[in-house]
Amino acid sequence: MIRWARPEFLWALLGLPVAAAIAFLAGRARRRRLHRAVDARLLPLLTDTHSPALARLKAALLFVALALLLVAAARPQWGEKLVTYKGRGVELVIALDASKSMFAQDVKPSRLERAKTELAGLIEELSGNLVGIVAFAGDAHVMCPLTPDVDAARLFLDIISPEAMPVPGTDLGRAIDVAMSLFSEGGAGSRVILLVTDGDDLGRNTPQAVRRAAEAGVRIFPVAFSTPEGAPVPEPTAQGIAYKKDRAGNVVISRMDERALILMAQATGGRFLRVEGFSGQRVRDELDRLQKKEVGGGTFTELAERFQYFLAAAIVLMVVGLGLSTRRGRWW
């Protein structure tokens, strides 16, 4: 089985046939202009040394090289290899809110999609640390235990969806408790929960869970993927998109409780972050300030990187293509 670490680069392959067609049409238009501008008796003198077959071969080599470069950039992986990991880092559990209020669109394209995009970038920055993922709504579930394999963590992040959550609602307290169950013993100050939520409904058990986290030396970094103004929560219907309403028939506006999230961070020695200032590098900088612990000392299997084969082939074809002459009787 082939896994693509950066599959977004594969979309660019769809543009290559279009680029090839444009290049072909441009070449044909250039030849027509030449035929119109030059006397027919002189034309053979100008084109006699040019080989159309070599020109087509040169273009084909360069287009194939470009395609191979895009495949290499997508980082194909297959075949397992055993990796031993050990070092100093932190244990980070990402707890992602997958309640239906995360469908709200005060953060574009939606709270959930923006959160998943930003977290995928963050995970790329976490090499050398242990990363786990918890998804929560009215209950919480471990999606990925603590692992040094950041590519595997990204895959588990991609499949989180409110439709897959069996219990509706939001229970941050349960999310915190499940996240804490993933941590190893000891290492106070080097265990972090990144609580990614819209901060709309914190749940009744959250204060007690925050207190347990503080007593265990676990820092909570709440990240609010919402705005103070809030937004209605879309609900698909047979007629299209409707919005969630209360019992009185009024459209419900989902807003974050910023003060509660700030107090949560202060109580555990964490830091409250807003979506406007969120970035993988900023979180990495915050983690670098924390006390590190020995992480690893074990082995895991991961798919081996194979991009180098495609990159090597692309370089060879590009060198040959660029050096290939289009003059008759000459290759270089």
How much is the average pLDDT of 67-86?
Answer: 85
- For the cut 70, the answer to whether the pLDDT of residue 40 exceeds it is no
How far, in Å, CA of 309 to CA of 71, rounded? 10
Alpha helices, H only, 125-171: 150-158
pLDDT tens track for 290-321: 877 766 655 666 778 899 999 999 999 999 98
pLDDT, residue 37, reads 63
The CA distances from residue 115 to 58, 89, 273, in Å, are 45, 24, 12
How much is the average pLDDT of 198-206?
Answer: 82
pLDDT tens track for 216-253: 999 999 999 998 888 998 887 767 778 888 888 889 89
**More confidently predicted of 39 and 246:** 246
How far, in Å, CA of 218 to CA of 91, rounded? 10
Task: Grade residue 74 by pLDDT with cuts at 50, 70 and 90.
Answer: very high
pLDDT, residue 303, reads 77
How much is the average pLDDT of 45-66?
Answer: 77
Instruction: Identify the CA nearest to 193 among candidates 118, 272, 87.
Output: 272
- For the cut 90, the answer to whether the pLDDT of residue 192 exceeds it is yes
Indicate the pTM of the whole model. 0.67
Domains and CATH numbers, the chain: 3-78+304-323 (no CATH), 91-291 (3.40.50.410)
